[in-house]
A = this chain, B = another copy of it.
Amino acid sequence: MSPLKDQILVVATDLFHTRGINSTGVDTIVAVAGTTKMTLYKYFNSKEELILEVLQKSQQDFQSWLNEKLNLNSKKPAEKIQRFFDYIEEWVNSPEFIGVGFIKASAEFPNEENPIHQLSSQQSREFRQFIGKLANEASIKDADGLALQLSLLFEGAVQAEQMKRGSGAIKYAKKAAKILIDGAIKG
């Protein structure tokens, strides 16, 4: 990938989170990125396309990071799902955390026909399915049910953290997750 394209994606990701997507103009993006609109529109056909690529890259980066953490530190499937929220906590509490793209994007583009909303919805579903796979591999009976519940705690905690940085919500989400996971493993 071209360094300039990457720089535009990095800057856009940050600005979309800190100022909002609709409130961030392409002029601001190129000014901060140190380039021009002509270059931006060379790599992205429209602002919508830029938003979609930002969402995809953000989710890919997060998933890669999470996969690495899970595979590096846990071998047994049951361990993985039990440590899942530890890594979520680590990620949310890291200074680089600025929020979750698909949560914010779905709020700014509420129409279910909108491509940005559809991608957001897809990413949320895929993340839930990823948790479901962890639960399934840990031989949990209602794996999908637990996955949905954990995803609610995840999205709720992220939402709380986006609303007030340093809320500490993730700590309690983790505790709740442990109760639900332990109950699901036994049951």
CB–CB B159/A173 < 8 A: no
CB–CB A20/B109 < 8 A: yes
0/1 string, A38-62, CB within 8 A of B gives 1:
0000000000000000000000000
Q: Which residues of the partner chain B approach A18 to less than 8 Å between Cβ atoms?
A: 110-111
Contact of A110 among B17, B124, B154, B173 (CB under 8 A): B17
0/1 string, A136-157, CB within 8 A of B gives 1:
0000000001001101111111
Report A137-187 residues with CB < 8 Å from chain B CB.
145, 148-149, 151-157, 159-160, 162-165, 169, 172-173, 175-176, 179-180, 183
Copies of this chain, how many?
A: 2
Instruction: Judge whether A133 is part of the interface by a CB distance below 8 angstroms.
Output: no
Contact A162 B19, CB 8 Å, known A145-B175, A172-B148? no
Segment of A28-36, A72-80, A89-97, A99-107 in the binding face = A99-107
Instruction: Judge whether A2 is part of the interface by a CB distance below 8 angstroms.
Output: no
A47 to chain B, nearest CB (A): 13
> How far is it, in angstroms, between the C-alpha of A47 and the C-alpha of B172 when the chains are bound?
37
Contact A175 B160, CB 8 Å, known A20-B109, A20-B110, A22-B22? no
> How far is it, in angstroms, between the C-alpha of A149 and the C-alpha of B160 when the chains are bound?
11
